[in-house]
Amino acid sequence: MPDYSIRSATEDDLTILLSWAADEGWNPGLDDRSAFQAADPSGFYVGCIGGTPVTCISAVKYGTDFGFIGFYICHPDHRGNGYGWKLWQHAMASLDERTVGLDGVVEQQANYKASGFEFAHRTIRQSGISMVDTPMDPRLTTIGQGLFPSIRDYDLQIFRFPRVDFLKSWLDPMASSRRGFALVDDGEVKGYGTLRQCAEGFKIGPLFADTADIADTLFRALAGQVKGQVVFLDTPEPNTHAEELAERYELSPEFETARMYKGKNPNLPLDHIYGVTSFELG
C-alpha cells in the first residue's frame, strides 16, 4: 500500500468530499460544508496517497452514545486496493463503543451486514416538481434565533441525540440557500422543516412533525417557496403517512437506502419523521 496515510479532513478537504458526493449522484446541498463540519469538526477523514486525498468518510459523534457513518467514497481511480477498508476501520474505531448508524445503498448492504450492522428500515428518496403554494396558516413561522431553543428541544425528542452546533449552522438565517419553517401552536413547536438548494433542485429535510396534517402544512410551506422546481424528500418506509404525503404531491420513488445500526437500535419515533435530515449525517 504505497505511501497511504489517514488524517482528519480540513475545510478544503470537505469541499473535495462534497464534489465526490456530487459525482456519485448524491446531490449534496450548496451550503452543506459549514453545517456538516459544525456537527463534529473531528468527524471527517481522508485517506491520502502522497498527500492527495483518494478516499473519504465521515464518522460524526452525537454525544457519548451515538455516531453516524457517511461520505464513504473511494475515488474511482483507486478502487480495489483496500484503501477504503483501512479508512473504514479507522473511522469505526473513532466512534468507540457508540451505537453506529448509516444509510446504506443497496449494493453495499451485504458488506455492512458483514461488519455487524443490522437492517432497521428502508428510506425512499422521493422527487417531483413542486406544484403547491405556501399555505396562509398563522401557526407557521420562519425559524429565527428566538425560536432556536424550542427547535433544539423538539429536535432532540425526534432525533434522540444532541446536535446543537449542527442545528445552529443548519438553521443559520444567513445561509441564503436554506430556509426553515416551524409550526407553533399555543407557544409550542409542533413540527419543523428545512429546505435547501442542491446541485439539482431542492431537498426538504428534516421534516419532523407531531401529526400528518402538520407535516402536510410544513411540506407545503417549504415546497411552496420553490414552486415549479424539483424537490426531494427522503421518507422512512415505516411512516406510511410520509409515503402518502409524497404520493399526494406527486413525488415518485427515485432510489432507496437502508437505515442500519451496529449496536442498540435507538428506536426513533418514525411516525414523527416525514423526511430525514441527510443520508450523510442521519
Q: Domain of residue 74: give its range.
A: 4-100
Mean pLDDT, rounded, for 66-89: 94
182 and 75 housed in the same domain? no
pLDDT at site 252: 98
Q: In Å, how far are 36, 64, 73, 93 from 43, measured between CA atoms?
A: 9, 13, 15, 12
88 and 164 housed in the same domain? no
SS3 category, 45: strand
pTM for the full predicted model: 0.95
Give percent above pLDDT 90 in the chain: 89
Give percent above pLDDT 70 in the chain: 99
Residues 246-276: pLDDT tens digits?
999 999 999 999 999 999 999 999 999 999 9
- The answer as to whether 131 is a domain residue is yes
Q: In Å, how far are 22, 49, 149, 233 from 129, measured between CA atoms?
A: 21, 42, 33, 12
**C-alpha cell of residue 47:** 485517506
DSSP state of 176: T
91 and 168 housed in the same domain? no
95 and 144 housed in the same domain? no
Sequence-separated (6 or more) residues with CB below 8 Å from residue 141? 147, 181, 182, 183, 184
What ranges in 67-146 are assigned the alpha helix state H?
83-94, 109-114
SS3 category, 50: coil
Domain of 42: which CATH number? 3.40.630.30
- The answer as to whether 118 is a domain residue is no
- The answer as to whether 119 is a domain residue is no
pLDDT at site 24: 86
pLDDT at site 174: 62
Residues 206-225: pLDDT tens digits?
999 999 999 999 999 999 99
190: pLDDT strictly greater than 90: yes
20 and 134 housed in the same domain? no
Please report which confidence band the pLDDT of residue 11 belongs to, taking 50, 70 and 90 as the band edges. confident
User: In total, how many domains does the chain have?
Assistant: 2
Which residues share a beta bridge with 252? 127
Domain of 146: which CATH number? 3.40.630.90
Residues 134-157: pLDDT tens digits?
899 999 999 988 999 999 999 999
pLDDT at site 145: 83
